[in-house]
Structure 1
């Protein structure tokens, strides 16, 4: 579980599928109101408080993004409490059970995204993807000092999907950035056929 602060009132939590399996939670469970998911959320909020000092009191907006092969991104935004809610929360401080007032939205992205620290790693993985005839597709972005390669699963043979993920994981790491955030804040370096273009421009 990886937690980072986006602003004073917003954090982003990246959960791998291993994080979920360790707690006996399936990806589909994140859409359900079950005790295990509530326990996971409480654990996330405790870790956010201990690591970042993020106090999850008051109303919270929770966005959950499912990413293929990487895991899930949870974005938590803390709302402002009015004076009545502040009074009520202080009265509830003695209660044993912590209750989070959550508004949850769920989205699922099929785009496979991996980030790379060095452009040499991008070149290496593209060479491997092309030479193994796995894909010549992809969009390349620059975001927060890293290169991010985004691939559409629809353009990858389903029988080779795991091989593509294995190669990407060998050179890069699964990113906790959502595709919507990448589209909005990232810089497009190659809008299409990134694997082929990189192989054409950088011959070994």
Structure 2
């Protein structure tokens, strides 16, 4: 689990599938109103509160973005309370949850050689496509629009060479450098392997 403070009243929490699995949860448990999910949420808020020296009381808005086979990103916003509004003295946190999903798979790599080797493995596995980006000394391979039956295989191969990225795809497209807009797997294999 990784935490990042975005603003004074907003934090981002990235939870991998392994983090959920270690706690006996799946991504589907979010849609259920389970006790385990509420406990995990309160544990995350407590950790964020300690790390960022925040007092989290009252209402919070939670946006959850499910990253296909990678985990999820939660954006937690502490809702400003008016002075006249009744404060929660008993430490209760009221959640307003919004859930969104993404079929995009985004991984981060330290060097281009890892991306080239990965492209070769993806190509051999019959998984084409992708776009290649560079931002802040890291390479990013975005696989979108791949077949559902190939997604798990793609994530397994990508995890051998890189790590799931918590970077927003929108931020990457806005501020990163696009190296290959499409067919990155085939292009890398064509120029560097064949």
Q: TM-score, normalised by structure 1?
A: 0.83
| Alignment: residue pair count | 194
CA contact (8 A) 2:16 2:72 kept: yes
2:97 equivalent among 98, 104, 126: 104
SS in 1 for 2:84: helix
Cα distance change, pair 56–185 in 1 and its aligned pair in 2 (3 A): farther
Residue 135 (structure 2) pairs with residue 164 (structure 1): no
Distance 2:56 2:135 in 1: 28
Residues 1:155 and 2:143 are matched in the alignment: no
2:25 aligned residue: 25
2:127 paired residue number: 135
Going by fraction, where is helix more abundant, 1 or 2?
A: 1
Q: Distance in 2 between matches of 1:27 and 1:172?
A: 22
In structure 2, the partner of 1:54 is 54
Shift of 1:133: 3.7
Alpha-carbon distance, 1:181 to partner: 4.1
Counterpart of 1:194 (choices 155, 163, 184) is: 184
* Rounded Cα–Cα distance in structure 1 between residues aligned with 2:79 and 2:111: 38
* TM-score normalised over the length of structure 2: 0.86
Structure 1 runs not aligned, ≥5 long: none
Q: Quote the RMSD (CA, aligned, Å).
A: 2.3
Gap regions ≥5 residues in structure 2: none
What whole-Å deviation, never above 9, does each CA across 1:29-82 have from its counterpart, x for those lacking one?
A: 212333222211110001101222233234322110111111111111223221
Residue in structure 2 matched with residue 70 of structure 1 by the alignment: 70
For the Cα contact (< 8 Å) 1:137–1:195, is it kept in 2?
yes
Shift of 1:180: 4.0
